[in-house]
Homo-oligomer: A and B are copies of this chain.
Amino acid sequence: MTGTRRIPAERLEQFTRECLNAVGLPAEDAAAVAELMAEADINGSDGHGIFRLPQYIKRIESGGINVRPNIRFIREQPASAVIDGDDAMGHLVMRRAAEVAIDKARTEGVAWVGARNSNHAGPAALYAKMPLAHDMIGLYIAVGNANHLPPWGGTEMLLSTNPIAVAIPAEKEPPIVLDMATTVAAYGKVKTAAQRGETMPEGWMIDREGKPLTDPKRADEGFLLPIGGAKGYGLALVFGLLAGTLNGAAFGKDVIDFNADSVTPTNTGQLIVAISVEAFADVAAFKRAVDATIASMHASPTLPGFDAVRVPGERSHAVCAERGAQGIPVHAGLLAALGELGDRLGVAPPA
């Protein structure tokens, strides 16, 4: 249970694909999900890639995910749509939603596509980045799949970490990719810390008396803290109404804790907005201006204790290059779980 091993992303992707296929996902869908999960890992989203595979498999085997979904439109206007994911893997639902948003934004300038009856889809950045290849800005918001956040001043966990991601294309620089929970820490980080036997810093969670909680194994005795106090709560609330309630998806009391329940449909809600740069500006000039903005941030003198000023997505970009060359670090505990999973499904282990 100590240490990590480096495994090539391709190998993890293959293992994921074969496992998903073994539990009934059609080959094409298994490949699409595995590709997105590997992309999560290679970009450093350790709580959202291969780490989630055992949970996804368990949910599929329990009937909590539909492996033969009919993903379809519920409502549609020229610049908007609501998609019913038919309880598919969230990756498939949101990839489709992104495609629709991009397609609509080409002629409309902007398009906003929401989803209901979706499921956990991995890191928000995956989908926010999809419009980039089309010279578009992407914005993604999701209702998290377990409530770990009370309203500000309250103790009832009615809210999730409801994240936002925004991806903005640059010219020579990597794109700016903000991907953040509305809580100080995402719950995936708490789970990762628990699995690794690590202690959490103060400020991530408090207990029901308002005291700091730093042992991730005691996570169910407390709750996450929102960024900026009432402000983070406000963001989590309005993001939940936009990504959940507006799409007819679960929010608040209705959210299913997908860690505790692998059977009940989650009715997960997410949304993606594609913004065509051309509808607002000369594309080349805009990208140059983003480069210039990045350069100006980098040029700022630093505060004591900081080695450099970075822009959102920069660390992930560096991690991606490093992991592409060195492989994905997989913790021994997770590797053992994957080995068992492979044994059970008749799939060769990833290492």
* A residues neighboring B (CB under 8 Å): 75-82, 107-112, 114, 137, 150-156, 158, 166, 168, 176, 178, 180, 184, 209-210, 227-228, 230-232, 234-235, 237-238, 240-242, 245-248, 251-253, 273, 275-277, 279-281, 286, 289-290, 293, 296-297, 299-306, 308-312
Assess the A231–B290 pair: CB atoms within 8 A: no
Assess the A151–B300 pair: CB atoms within 8 A: yes
Assess the B281–A178 pair: CB atoms within 8 A: no
Contacts of A232 in B (CB 8 A): 227-228
Assess the A300–B231 pair: CB atoms within 8 A: no
Q: A78-B107, A80-B279, A109-B78 are in contact. Are A311 and B237 (CB under 8 A)?
A: yes
A304 partner, pick from B210, B227, B281, beta carbons under 8 A: B210
Contacts of A210 in B (CB 8 A): 303-305
Chain B residue at minimal CB-CB distance from A280: B246
Chain B residue at minimal CB-CB distance from A164: B235
Contacts of A230 in B (CB 8 A): 312
- Looking at chain A's contact residues, is the secondary structure mostly helix, strand, loop, or mixed? mixed
Q: A176-B237, A184-B228, A235-B178 are in contact. Are A151 and B297 (CB under 8 A)?
A: yes
Assess the A286–B246 pair: CB atoms within 8 A: yes
- Please list 20 pairs of residues, one from A and one from B, whose beta carbons are closer than 8 Å in the complex, sorted by A's number: A75-B280, A82-B281, A108-B108, A110-B110, A112-B275, A152-B309, A153-B309, A153-B310, A154-B300, A168-B238, A168-B242, A178-B234, A178-B238, A210-B304, A227-B232, A228-B232, A245-B293, A246-B277, A246-B280, A246-B281
Report the bound CA distance from A71 to B151 in whole Å: 42
Assess the B153–A241 pair: CB atoms within 8 A: no
Q: Chain B's nearest CB lies how many Å from the CB of A313?
A: 9
Contacts of A112 in B (CB 8 A): 109-110, 275
Assess the B302–A237 pair: CB atoms within 8 A: no
Assess the A209–B304 pair: CB atoms within 8 A: yes
Chain B residue at minimal CB-CB distance from A78: B108
Assess the B303–A251 pair: CB atoms within 8 A: no
Q: A137-B246, A178-B238, A293-B251 are in contact. Are A79 and B79 (CB under 8 A)?
A: yes
Contacts of A240 in B (CB 8 A): 293
Contacts of A77 in B (CB 8 A): 107-110, 276, 279
- Since A80-B275, A166-B242, A210-B304 are in contact, a sample of 14 more A-B pairs with Cβ atoms closer than 8 Å, ordered by chain A residue number, is A77-B108, A77-B109, A77-B279, A78-B79, A108-B108, A154-B309, A168-B242, A241-B290, A241-B293, A245-B281, A246-B275, A246-B286, A252-B293, A252-B297
Report the bound CA distance from A120 to B240 in whole Å: 30
Q: Indicate the member of A153, A232, A281 with the most B CB atoms within 10 Å.
A: A153
Report the bound CA distance from A252 to B110 in whole Å: 25
Assess the A153–B280 pair: CB atoms within 8 A: no
Q: Chain B's nearest CB lies how many Å from the CB of A142?
A: 16
A79 partner, pick from B108, B114, B150, B312, beta carbons under 8 A: B108
Q: Indicate the member of A77, A82, A232 with the most B CB atoms within 10 Å.
A: A77
Q: Chain B's nearest CB lies how many Å from the CB of A75?
A: 6
A312 partner, pick from B180, B238, B251, B304, beta carbons under 8 A: B238
Chain B residue at minimal CB-CB distance from A301: B155
Contacts of A305 in B (CB 8 A): 153, 210
